[in-house]
Amino acid sequence: MGKKLKIGMVSPYGWDLPGGVQIHIRDLAEFFMAKGHEVSVLTPAIEDELLPSWVQSSGRPLAIPYNGAVARVSFGPVATMRVRKWISEGDFDLLHLHEPAIPSLSLLACWAAEGPMVGTFHATAPRQKAIFAVGPILEPAIEKLSARIAVSEMARETLTEHLATNAIVIPNGINHQFFKEAKANPEWMGSSIGFVGRFDEPRKGLNVLIEAVPEIVKANPDLRIIVAGPGESEDVLKGVEQSIRNRFVFLGRVSDEEKARLLKSIDLYVAPNTGGESFGVILAEAMAAGTAVAASDLPAFRAVLNDGKAGALFISEDVKDLARVVNNLLLNKELNLSLGKSGQEWSKRYDWENVAHQIENVYEMVTSTGEKVSLGSDLRGWMRSI
């Protein structure tokens, strides 16, 4: 795209505890700014956090249960006022709203604004009566979007099922070269498997991996499990015998550089997630590092791993099958190396150069009329009318 744009992006989730959506927004914003576009991100955040100059806070986030996890969102009169102020002062060519179907900033921005708007839908979820109950409120807002993006076929199907609308599929992005060129940490090398994520969330499946460790250890007596991410290790290892507990190394939250080094160092990345996944960025990152991946056969993971050609799959929540697949890859070094190479090649499709180009094409389509984003009619009056 030749024209330089002024882009307003909205994160529905708190910036201080980054998950897949926030990281996607951060990396996409930084990529576009490097290309000469101007980007402003509005997000829930604690006021005194050290935020980048291009990130604005809508106020302190509130925690609500959502899709098997806890989402930290911002909603209500104060958030509405700050959304409208940000739009009014932004002079944006377009808004890019992430997860505009949940009660947070993106939905508020969609209600408040008129003009070019792109919505990206990240979540995948089963049919939920609660979502259908608020459908009459959501649908008029979603219809205002100039274009809709889903990060996977599963996310697109969720959108179609819940709100009877469609979207183009554009996957999450990664910095392929960053992970490919990461330097291994000798401390984490040697008969090691890795796990990255909020491990105290049951759907991330660390408990499934823990149950499989005794069987894996029989064939790999020197095994270590390197775990990175927020959570309380004592809680997840409660009741686990000491000989198994001693094999776990908990790093806590790590920087992007540390995560890349971890993925480069381990023999195998294991993703035992049990559900609620729409993509699997960590799988793409591990593949980019050249590390073999073993993951539960969730539809989203199956797609990211090219139906098992770029990574091994095991039956979700099946401890014995997990142990079988992991042992096969730890003991068969030639297969492990071959799978790592296949995954690294396949993961190039998720590089930001490819993904952002597809998003830019969407931006070009929705801004072709030259119309700018503006505030719509009074929000409260609009809500009373629906």
The domain over range 176-349 is classified in CATH as 1.10.468.10:
no
pLDDT of residue 230: 86
Cα 167 from Cα 147, distance rounded (Å): 7
pLDDT of residue 201: 85
pLDDT (tens digit per residue) in 248-303: 999 999 999 999 999 999 999 999 999 989 899 999 999 999 999 999 999 999 99
Q: Which CATH superfamily is domain 6-173+351-385 in?
A: Glycogen Phosphorylase B; (3.40.50.2000)
Helix axis angle for 319-331 and 333-346, nearest 10°, is 100
**Per-domain residue ranges for the chain?**
6-173+351-385, 176-349
Q: Are 89 and 79 in contact (CB under 8 A)?
A: no
Q: Which residues contact 30 (CB under 8 A, 6 or more apart)?
A: none
In CATH terms, are 6-173+351-385 and 176-349 the same topology? yes
pLDDT of residue 123: 83
pLDDT (tens digit per residue) in 304-324: 999 999 999 999 999 999 999
pLDDT of residue 386: 38
Sheet containing 168-169, strands listed edge to edge, beginning at the edge strand earlier in sequence: 55-57, 38-43, 6-10, 94-98, 117-121, 147-150, 168-169
